[in-house]
Amino acid sequence: MAALPKRIVKETERLMAEPHVVPGISAVPHEDNLRYFDVKIHGPSQSPYEAGIFKLELFLPDDYPMTPPKIRFLTKIYHPNIDKLGRICLDVLKSNWSPALQIRTILLSIQALLGAPNPDDPLANDVAQRWKEDEPAAIQTAREWTRQYAKA
Amino acid sequence: MDSLDIDQRPAKKRRFFVEDSPEPERTLSSTASPLNDALSTANTTPQETPLEPSSSQTDLSIHNGTNRKGSDASTGFDMEMFESFVGDKVALATFNKLREVSGDNMERAINMYLDGSWANATVPQAPDSSSPSITGTFKSRFPEQVYQQHRTEERRSSSTTDAGRTLESMPDYRYVGAFGVGAWATRSGAGLIKMGEAIKIERTKIKAPTKLGRGGKAIQTNAARMRGDVIVRFTNSRGEEVGRLPKETANWVSALMDQKVCRFDGVCFLAPIRIRINDTIELQLRCSLLRRAFEAGGFQKPEDNRTTGFFEEKETSDEKNLRLRQVAMVKLFDEVNLHPTTVNDTTARHKRQGILQAAEIAEQYDKEKENKKPKPTQDSKSTQAGNSTPPEAEEEEEGKELEQDQLDSLYKKAQSFDFDTPTREPADTFVMDLRKYQKQALHWMVSKEKDEKSDNKEVSMHPLWEEYAWPAKDMDDKDVPSVANQKSFYVNPYSGELSLDFPAQEQHCLGGILADEMGLGKTIEMLSLMHSHRSDISMQASEAGPSSVANLPRLPKNSSSVEPAPSTTLVVAPMSLLAQWESESVKASKPGTLKAMVYYGSEKVANLQNLCCEANAASAPNLIITSYGVVLSEFNQVAARGGDRGSHGGLFSLDFFRVILDEAHFIKNRQSKTAKACYEINAQHRWVLTGTPIVNRLEDLFSLVRFLRVEPWSNFSFWKTFITVPFESKDFLRALDVVQTVLEPLVMRRTKDMKTPDGEALVPLPPRTIEIEELELSKHEREVYDYIFTRAKRTFNATMEAGTLLKSYTTIFAQILRLRQSCCHPVLTRNKAIAAEEEEAAAASDVANGLADDMDLQELIERFTSDSEAGEQDITNKFGAHVLQEIQSQANNECPICAEEPMIEPAVTGCWHSACKKCLSDYIEHQKEKHALPLCFNCREPINQRDIFEVIHHDNEDDDDLYNASQPGQASTPPRITLRRIGSSSSAKIAALISHLKALRLTNPGTKSVVFSQFTSFLDLISPALTQANIPFLRFDGAMTQKARAAVLLDFAASPTKKNGHGMVLLLSLRAGGVGLNLTAAKRVFMMDPWWSFAVEAQAIDRVHRMGQESAVKVVRFVIAGSIEGRMLRIQERKKFIASSLGMMSEEEKKMQRIEDIKELLT
């Protein structure tokens, strides 16, 4: 494997050095593959995901930062924009990606997504449907899933 | 007609003439009026040969011929001369003896003027009619032996005090000879003049030209062409005017009389009793040189001028007089049949006839020039110039350019090098190995310096002068009174000067021109000379050694005189070569055997005189290296002190052992201050080194010869007579011959392609290949090129139609320059193109609009704050000043894409977001591959690809590019930042260069290369490309200090092969690096852009392909296909180039040439 680009090195260093600057987010690269990160995101407060810690996997492709990182929830989550395979529907991870974005900013976006589900642009259609029809029930389910799967 | 008959019976002779005279009279009368016309025109127009065509005149002249024969035998008018020469008493004795010996009809003359007692003796004699008679009454006071002795004495004692004495002892005038002339009468009547009557020759100025039109005929001849009258009249003994000398004679007689060189006395020996107008009267004229003609005050010798110093040598109006006089004297000596007894070998080669011819050509030439020029300008110019006549001055400046083939043949003759010339081993303090031809050069140089040929110490005559013996007898064979110690006189036929004193040859030229072609090692040859020929004082000093206490130098009192510097050789070289001279001198010498010193800038020693003078010989530097600039500035200082050399203590306060001018074509213009300064350097041995002794005109050579002080050629009028004038009057072969004789003893020239008799190359230089690589412009570049081309052509066509082509020549030329730049890199032209759109705008507003290459951020900011009009619409319309300011700080931040900090080659989008140039372009490429609209990485605005700019930090270095020169230095302001469009950040040429260099890394790792461009701003663009490609490079241009240049050259030569396999690349500006440098460390040359003349490029290439080069040299010339560059190559081939049309041809030729060239370039 080619040498790690300076950008990745720098991003990694910063992620490791300042875990407290961005509360509720952490990303740790695998020792055998520095492009592969174990990510943990705390569910935002005042959201159904509060108190949950969600695990994600993040992979930086070869042409990163030209292409966005590949990222996926490992923890089961009940969310209209996240499907059951953990794939995330987020514009900055697709068409709106910009090389000026970073791992940290992407993770923050995901955290924000947890706080503001958008059922109008769904990935998990059944969840979105329920969210629209009976939001309190949907939120309740999300809480339960969080308690059940995202225990600290 | 028999002379005997005349002698015996003078009465009959008279009758004979009476009978004879009607014949010409008849013919005359029949053709009277045309003849009159002819005569009067002849008087007004000096160039016409008078009377020759008319048949009656032919009769007359035949008649004259016979009469003239008689004249030698029968004239007696010189009696009168004797009287005035020696007084009555001597005359009596003379006449007595005369009567005895010759006894011709001169007695009659004596009878007429003096006592009748002389008439008795009539001893007839048949004298030699063609030469002055030999016998005389005066016995020579000096037998031949004494005379010889005396002559040698004279030679030895030719000091000025002597001159005074010899001049004093000379009588007021002294006889030199006599000649017959058929004059014509201007009056008619009987008894006007009798045979044997003494006549006076007068020079009265006619009042008005109309007076010439006798017989009521108005003169239609061109009055402007009149050079002033030359009419010489003669009067009878009563003082009445009788007639005039014929035109041909009067021409030169008048000059001699006007300039008070000669006096003429005459006697009539044949005249009709009844004289009619236009009758021929035979006269014999005696000519005597006046004493004052020998007085030095009359004419300043040009040589004196030169040695005394700071002056300008130009053709003056005096010069014109000199030329008249010169011609007159030659004609005089011709007429009186006086031949030089001694002529210098040099001048003997040139026939005296040549002088006449040349001088007459010169006269005619000047006349033509004068006719062409309107008089008023001449006057106004001459008043401001003070001492020069403008037509000549102009002609000298312009000179004619040599055609290439002429130059070739000139050199072919000059460089006939004999391969068998002896060699000489250099002194053992010289440690380099010399090739055979270099040893031959050493031998030649040492023998030139020691002047081994002239072992005999005999003083030889100055080459310009001729020695004449005063005639001992006059034309009647009578002795002429001689003057003690004056047996001969000396004439300089080239200047018309006269002297009684032996003109000694001044010091021989103990030096010469080493004109080996570039790369043959002129420097090494000179260094070997420095080691092998030292002055005696220097030898002693170096043996004694500087440590010896007894030899402690006593410094001279700060003398005001010029001190000899017997140990020191002065080298004057262009600044860029100073370091090279120094290092070569160290390399070539055993340690401690040659002390070299660079005399330049702040390293100058306070008092050079104390350092180098004789007393300090042991520790004086053996070699002082200085630049032309230093010579010039010290020259100015000395001149400002009124020529006080000594107390200045600099270069001019010393008389060096040797002076060497390197790249001596620096002084090719003899009018330039630098050249004049160099002439004034004093040295025993004078050398010039140049690969091109003649750059493009013969005058170039004159300046060198002048510096070398080679007599007689360092005399400009001499040079002009024999070289310039014949050459300019299309007598090229003759001029060539003369130049060859000048060059032959002075020049040693070998060329690289010379072959030894065994067919080996003189210098086995490795082969050199030049290939032209045609490149295609990218689409973007082609657009820019086409745009500029169309506009240039439009301008051209418009001005062509309007007929103002030459007026707007500079505009068009500037556009052509832009075209050439756009072939290199569109960025070079960008803002100039914008400025050019405002074609009406004056140059000043061009500057205001940012003629500069790059868009200057500082300037932009200023424009915003001052709310002035926008120079760059895209940028200035959209954003405020703070954005621009922000870019400066942004550029120092981390790249948002690759996280480099600061950014590598920062670039800016149209929305002013910065990233590394590469990151940004990669990202755009990436998006394009996905067929997506490129958006800004930051704000997601669509990116207009034209609006991507590279941010370039400038150190506040000076850019010597023509168009950037106007930018003021901004020492205190933040570093300048400029933006360049990223789309044009690379050009076809740069890409080709990089790929060549990369390929070179694979095939020949570590090969060093040299890259030439004439645009330093292009070098600016190449540098980042090299950086990006990770190719190490150095840079050498005109803006660098001497020290920096030296350091760069050293670095380049010493730089090791880089570990990544890339050899060092040296970026050179063609102008700064074209001359002299030694870049043999390189093996590849890349010429980025063609110059107007390939010679300039060839010179640059030869920096690499020269002595010391050990491998084959490959040269690649980049040329853009289908562009103006290709046409430039065609022009190069035709050997016509616009540069030449900017100042060397005639005005008409220039115009034609310019139009031709532009047409060629723009069609």
Decide: B487 and B150 in contact? Cβ < 8 Å: yes
Range of weakest confidence among B703-707, B895-899, B944-948, B1027-1031? B944-948
Both tokens of B260, joined, read 């008070």
Distance CA B631, CA B1006 (A): 41
pLDDT band at B62 (very low <50, low <70, confident <90, very high): very low
Is the pLDDT at B792 greater than 70, yes or no? yes
Taking CA–CA distances from B915, the nearest residue in chain A reads: A100
Q: What mean pLDDT do residues B496-510 have?
A: 68
Question: A99 touching B, CB under 8 A?
Answer: yes
* Partner-chain residue, chosen from A6, A11, A66, that has the shortest CB–CB distance to B923: A66
Pairing of strands B1084-1087, B1009-1013: parallel
Mean pLDDT in residue range B791-805: 79
Best to test chain A binding among B909, B925, B937 (most A CBs inside 10 Å): B937
pLDDT at B984 over 80: no
pLDDT in tens, B536-557: 776 766 655 444 444 444 444 4
Q: Give the A window 60-79 contacts with B, CB below 8 Å.
A: 63, 65-67
Nearest Cα neighbor of B394 from B385, B403, B402 is: B385
Res. B983: pLDDT tops 60: no
Gap between the Cα atoms of B496 and B715, Å rounded: 14
Comparison of pLDDT for B456 and A49, the residue scoring more:
A49
Residues of B in contact with A63 (CB under 8 A): 926
User: Strand (E) positions, B495-562?
Assistant: 497-499, 512-514
Which of B101-105, B953-957, B987-991 tops mean pLDDT?
A: B987-991
Average pLDDT over residues B494-506: 69
Confidence of residue B577 (pLDDT cuts 50, 70, 90): confident
Q: What is the mean pLDDT of chain B?
A: 67
pLDDT at position B705: 85
In this predicted structure, what is the pLDDT of residue A78? 92
Confidence category of residue B1143, pLDDT binned at 50, 70, 90: very low
Check if the beta carbon of residue B1088 is closer than 8 Å to that of residue B1056: no
Residues 6+ apart with CB under 8 A from B1017: B828, B853, B959, B961, B963, B964
The confidence score (pLDDT) of residue B551 equals: 45
**Whether residue B991 has pLDDT greater than 80:** yes
- DSSP lists the bridge partners of residue A36 as A59
B273 C-beta neighbours (distance < 10 Å), count: 15
Block residue for tokens 């201007």: B186
Q: What is the mean pLDDT of residues B397-418?
A: 58
Judged by average pLDDT, the poorest of B354-363, B800-809, B910-919, B1083-1092 is B354-363
CA of A98: which chain B residue's CA is closest? B937
Cβ separation A63–B937 shorter than 8 A: no
Q: Which H helix or E strand runs over B243?
A: strand B241-244
Distance separating alpha carbons of residues B676 and B312, to the nearest angstrom: 8
Q: Between the ranges B304-318, B669-683, B1140-1154, where is the mean pLDDT highest? A: B669-683
Question: CB–CB of A7 and B923 under 8 A?
Answer: no
Both tokens of residue B375? 């008089």
Q: Which residues pair with B565 in a beta bridge?
A: B656
Mean predicted confidence (pLDDT) in B840-849: 35
- What is the model's pLDDT at position B781? 75
Model confidence at B32, pLDDT cuts 50, 70, 90, reads very low
Please state the rounded mean pLDDT for residues B573-585: 87
Report the share of chain A in percent with pLDDT over 90: 39
For the record, the structure tokens of B1119 come out as 């040329």
Q: Which of A66, A101, A104, A105 to mutate to test the interface with B (most CBs of B within 10 A)?
A: A66
Cα-atom radius of gyration of chain A, to the nearest Å? 16
- Does residue B109 carry a pLDDT above 50? no
> What pLDDT score was predicted for residue B1011?
92
Per-residue pLDDT, B861:
39
Does residue B923 belong to the interface with chain A, where contact is any CB pair within 8 Å? yes
The Cα of B883 is separated from the nearest Cα of chain A by a number of Å equal to: 19
Among B898, B935, B938, select the one facing A7 at the smallest CB separation. B898
> In chain B, which residues have their Cβ closer than 8 Å to the Cβ of A66?
922-923, 926
pLDDT at residue number B259: 79
Q: Kindly name the residue from A25, A41, A77, A89 that is annotated as catalytic.
A: A89
The answer to whether residue B1142 neighbours chain A at the CB level (below 8 Å) is no
Q: How many CB atoms lie within 10 A of CB B804?
A: 12
Q: Does A96 touch chain B (CB under 8 A)?
A: yes
Q: For residue range B812-828, what is the model confidence (pLDDT) as tens digits?
A: 777 788 888 888 877 67
In terms of pLDDT, which residue wins out, A61 or B832? A61
**Does the pLDDT value for residue B858 go beyond 50?**
no
pLDDT exceeds cutoff 80 at B762: no
In whole angstroms, give the CA distance from residue B186 to residue B173. Answer: 30
B39-53, B243-257, B731-745: least confident range: B39-53
* H helix intervals, B907-975: 917-929
**What average pLDDT does chain A have?**
88
B274 DSSP β-pair partners: B190
For strands B512-514 and B563-573, give the pairing. unpaired
Q: Identify the three-state secondary structure at position B1087.
A: strand
| A100 touches B at CB < 8 Å | yes
Contact between B441 and B423 under an 8 Å Cβ cutoff? The reply is no
**B812 versus B695: which is more confidently predicted?**
B812
Judge whether residue A56 has pLDDT over 90: yes
State whether B899 and A96 contact (CB < 8 Å): no
With 60 as the cut, is the pLDDT of residue B974 above it?
no
- Integer angstrom CA distances of residue B732 from B358, B727, B737, B767, B867: 13, 5, 9, 36, 66
Separation in Å, CA of A146 to nearest CA in chain B: 35
Tokens of B126: 């048949």
Q: How many residues does chain A have?
A: 152
| Average pLDDT, integer, range B428-435 | 83
Write the pLDDT tens digit of every residue in A60-101: 998 888 899 999 999 999 999 999 899 999 988 988 888 889
Q: Is A103 on the interface with B (CB under 8 A)?
A: no
Q: How far is A35 from chain B (nearest CA, A)?
A: 15
Q: For residue B325, what pLDDT is reported? A: 77
Q: Does A98 touch chain B (CB under 8 A)?
A: yes
Residue in B896, B922, B926 closest to A100 by CB: B896
Q: With 80 as the cut, is the pLDDT of residue B579 above it?
A: yes
Residue B25 predicted with pLDDT over 60: no
Instruction: Find which of B176-190, B361-375, B691-705, B748-762 is predicted with most confidence, using mean pLDDT.
Output: B176-190
B774 C-beta neighbours (distance < 10 Å), count: 14
Q: What is the ipTM of this complex?
A: 0.87
* DSSP string across B1098-1138: HHHHHTTSSTT--S-EEEEEEEETTSHHHHHHHHHHTT--H
Q: Are B866 and B881 in contact (CB under 8 A)?
A: no
Based on the residue annotation, tell me whether A89 is a catalytic residue of this protein.
yes
d(CA B238, CA B240): 6
**Long-range pairs for B772-775 at CB < 8 Å and ≥24 separation?**
B772/B1117, B772/B1119, B772/B1129, B773/B992, B773/B1116, B773/B1117, B773/B1118, B773/B1119, B774/B1119, B774/B1120, B774/B1121, B774/B1126, B775/B988, B775/B989, B775/B992, B775/B1118, B775/B1119, B775/B1120, B775/B1121
